[in-house]
Amino acid sequence: MQRISRRRAIYLAAAAGVAAGLGPLTALAQAASEQQRLIDRARIVVEEFQADPNFANVSIYVQNAYAVLIVPDMLQGGLIIGAEHGVGVLLARDPVSGVWGDPAFYEIWGGSLGLQIGGRSSDIIFTLMNPQAVDKLLTTSFKLGADASIAVGRVGAGVGAGTTIRFGEDMYFFARTRGLFGGLALDGSVVNERTAWNEAYYGDGVSARQILRSELAPRPGAATLREALARF
């Protein structure tokens, strides 16, 4: 009996050690899965835009963009004072090969004052039309309309790839909206790097600049999103 108890004690001690060691790994895996869900949702947003004839013209903007910011389920709501918030992924295109890189995580905050009531959710695709706009997004705080000009992209059913468009703004955005909120005003909204999410998905100390400059090995979990963007 004493021999069995000793074995049991050794087994329990080893199991406790393994559990203690797996604790941080489990927490990291849970965090990474949260980011992976956002990447998968962003891929669905891309595919929904591609399937919607009202947004046929988005492909022209994406094909000419240096980077895209995809924000699924951006929330807006308010009573007199409005507020908006969303978390999204920013992907840059290799300037030589044209291949899309891996996503960096960003969030957008905004607020406005006016006669407004209700709430809604929007899937938004932002296209960054020059390298300067991409560089500014790598600063600590980026304000839409101030640090880069922004406008609603041209949309409409039956607008095909043969349409000629002059890209006069730094950024354009397209929104597929659900809800009753009146108006989508993004001027003044602040876009920030979501540092904790980038580190959770890529590793400690990894910055958005490293991700967007393709300094890391490609992540298999982002492959379907990159492939979806390439279909524009």
How far from the centroid of its chain's Cα atoms is residue 149's Cα?
Answer: 20
Among 149, 155, 148, smallest CA distance to 174 is for 155
The identity of residue 4, as a single letter, is I
Domain residue spans in the chain? 34-230
Q: Split the chain (232 residues) into runs of 10 and give each run's mean pLDDT.
A: 48 46 46 87 97 92 96 72 81 93 93 54 92 87 83 65 67 81 68 95 95 94 97 94
Neighbours of 144 (CB within 10 A): 21
**117 pairs with which residues across the strands?**
79
37-to-155, 167, 173, 201, 216 alpha-carbon distances in Å: 28, 32, 23, 11, 21
Exposed e or buried b per residue across 41-64, where buried means at least 16 C-beta atoms within 10 angstroms of its C-beta: bbbebbeebbeeeebbbbbbbbee
Q: Which two tokens stand for residue 146?
A: 């101030």
> Cα(186)–Cα(190) distance, rounded to whole angstroms?
9
Burial class of residue 119 in the structure, from the number of CB atoms within 10 Å of its CB (0-12 exposed, 13-18 middle, 19+ buried): middle
What's the pLDDT score for residue 28?
44
